[in-house]
Structure 1
Amino acid sequence: MKRSRFSEEQIIGILKEQEAGAATADLCRRHGVSSATFYKWKAKYGGMEASEAKRLKALEDENARLKKLLAESMLNESALRELLGKKW
């Protein structure tokens, strides 16, 4: 997975600048991001504080770990079913 150049705190800081009245195009140019990226950040992190963003990241990481565990479990179960289903 590609790592972002910006941390959640930095993203929220950029969004706060825009809420304070800075022009979106100027912010994007100054920080070197596209307007599409800016609006994607705004959809995801809009109205959040830094602590909430950290909690969101932790929950996303835990969710990914649990999905991986579930996939491995289902794979093991299907392999056991296949093995037990064969006639000796």
Structure 2
Amino acid sequence: MVRKRYSDEDALKILREIDVHLHDGLDVVSACRKAGISDKTYYYWRKKFGGLGRRQLSEMKALKKENERLKKIVA
């Protein structure tokens, strides 16, 4: 099986798409198949991103980048 990397923004889009499928009455496995990801990936992304929107995601990325920069300065 070929592994595909998704950007965080793509992952959020897919999570929203799956939410729509779930509200339409599909189970998680079927919704994930329709979106082209595994249910394991879905649960991982849901745990990682929780209720984040685009703005919160960009803030989180900026904070991580800042932390890395500060760690390099301190080290």
> Do the two structures share a fold, i.e. TM-score over 0.5?
yes
Q: Unaligned 5+ residue runs, structure 1? A: 72-88
In structure 2, which of residues 51, 56, 59 is the aligned counterpart of residue 55 of structure 1? 59
**What TM-score, normalized to structure 2?**
0.67
Q: Unaligned 5+ residue runs, structure 2? A: none
Query: Over alpha carbons, which structure has the higher Rg?
Result: 1
* Runs ≥4 residues deviating over 6 A: none
- What is the root-mean-square deviation of aligned Cα atoms in Å? 2.2
Partner of 1:36: 40
Q: 1:64 to 1:19 in 2, by over 3 A?
A: same
1:16, distance to aligned residue in structure 2 (A): 0.9
**What TM-score, normalized to structure 1?**
0.59
Contact 1:15 1:46 in 2 (8 A): no
Partner of 2:29: 25
1:31, distance to aligned residue in structure 2 (A): 5.1
Partner of 1:14: 14
